[in-house]
Amino acid sequence: MALLPIAEAQARLLALAGPTPVETVPLGQAVGRWAAEPVVARRTQPETDLSAMDGYAIRFADLPGPWAVIGESAAGSGFAGTVAPGEAVRIFTGAPMPAGADTVLVQEEAARDGDQLSLAGEGPSYLGRNTRRRGLDFAQGDALIAAGERLTPARIALAAIGGHAALPVGRKVRVAIAATGDELVAPGMPIGPAQLPESNRTMLAAQLADLPVEIVDLGILPDDLGALTHAFATVEADLLITSGGASVGDHDLVRPALEAAGATIDFWRIALRPGKPMMAGTRGDMVVLGLPGNPVSVFVTALLFAKPLIAHRSGAADPFPRGRSAILGEPLPANGPRTDYLRAALIDGRVHASAIQDSSMLRTLARSTCLIVREPHAPAANSSDSVEILDIA
């Protein structure tokens, strides 16, 4: 069977399920979620002309003064009267500009003696200096955040100042994570020579920590068709992620167990290194993602498939990681038939691939800051050539 190109596998995976149902959450819980609907300004910001500095509200035409100070405008209150020619109002940052005034003289450039005010510096250079006009940031009805955009700290603050206390977002994605393999032992436990500390669940949960997920930990499952089938048939989640048992060995039972549990496999084996034996399918509304067991294969397939799928189900319009270009530090050989994601480090503007690219090597992965993306059959590359990288640290 031909290996599926990555882009095709990504598209097919996202087509397996749509976004989770929408819920409305307070802004304090919205960070890292995706806007389910456009967020529109319920007010104009600023609502009125404001001072941007501490000083005196004046009429620009009155420069160079002097002025009589007739009152005060503070943030939250304002000044009720009107500033007539020759008059000034003491004003503070964020306070409403009084009627009649159009410019602010900063206090560092003013001299005050009782109610008398005079210029003690250059003074404002143009009409409107040191003020913020009504609607400078946005007007009521303006689009603030598009549906499908991530709710970053700045966008949450924008929603707040736009008059919103809560926002509609996709409900959290329930992700069940299972490790499979008779050789696996919980980390830190005593271990025999044929055994291995389990690291994939821990890494996956950490990789998903910045996404709106609820993790259901299915633990370490044995290489036993009955036990795997039972676990896969009874789990309740939006997404089931397994690791291990995805390849063609006699103990690679994930695919038969998923099928025995009622799942349909949509695709298996992609033109990707590391991560070739990955499979994807559905069991009812639940998407199942069978990742290979090698730790680096898990890392890469989580980055390229699991995380984008969760983002997509959370309502993201643009769920895939974005590459950028970097300059190679050393030559690279021609690539084979799979897209290769080389563990690499970006040092002083040059990207250096690790000499050994074995998908079991977590220390190499942990030292890497990026992955170099090599397209299928890419020709050999020279030092100083530009390559695409994906940042991972």
Does residue 184 touch ligand LQZAQKY5 according to CB under 6 A? Answer: yes
Binding mask 273-302 for ligand MOO (x = CB under 6 A): xxxx---------------x-x--x-----
Query: Buried b / exposed e across 169-191, counting CB within 10 Å, b at 16+?
Result: bbbbbbbbbbbbbebbeeeeeee
| Closer CB to ligand LQZAQKY5, 201 or 312, in the complex | 201
By a kind-dependent CB cut-off of 5 to 8 A, residue 184 interacts, out of ligand LQZAQKY5, ligand MOO, none, with: ligand LQZAQKY5
**Least Å distance between CB 41 and ligand LQZAQKY5?**
48
Binding mask 337-366 for ligand MOO (x = CB under 6 A): ----------------------x-------
Q: Which of 29, 140, 199, 357 binds ligand LQZAQKY5 (CB under 6 A)?
A: 199
State which residue has the least CB distance to ligand MOO.
274
| Closer CB to ligand LQZAQKY5, 243 or 368, in the complex | 243
Does residue 243 touch ligand LQZAQKY5 according to CB under 6 A? Answer: yes
Does residue 200 touch ligand MOO according to CB under 6 A? Answer: no
**Least Å distance between CB 301 and ligand LQZAQKY5?**
9
- Interaction residues for ligand MOO, span 214-273 (CB under 6 A): 273
Binding mask 201-240 for ligand LQZAQKY5 (x = CB under 6 A): ----------------------------------------
Contact residues for ligand MOO, defined by CB under 6 A: 273-276, 292, 294, 297, 359
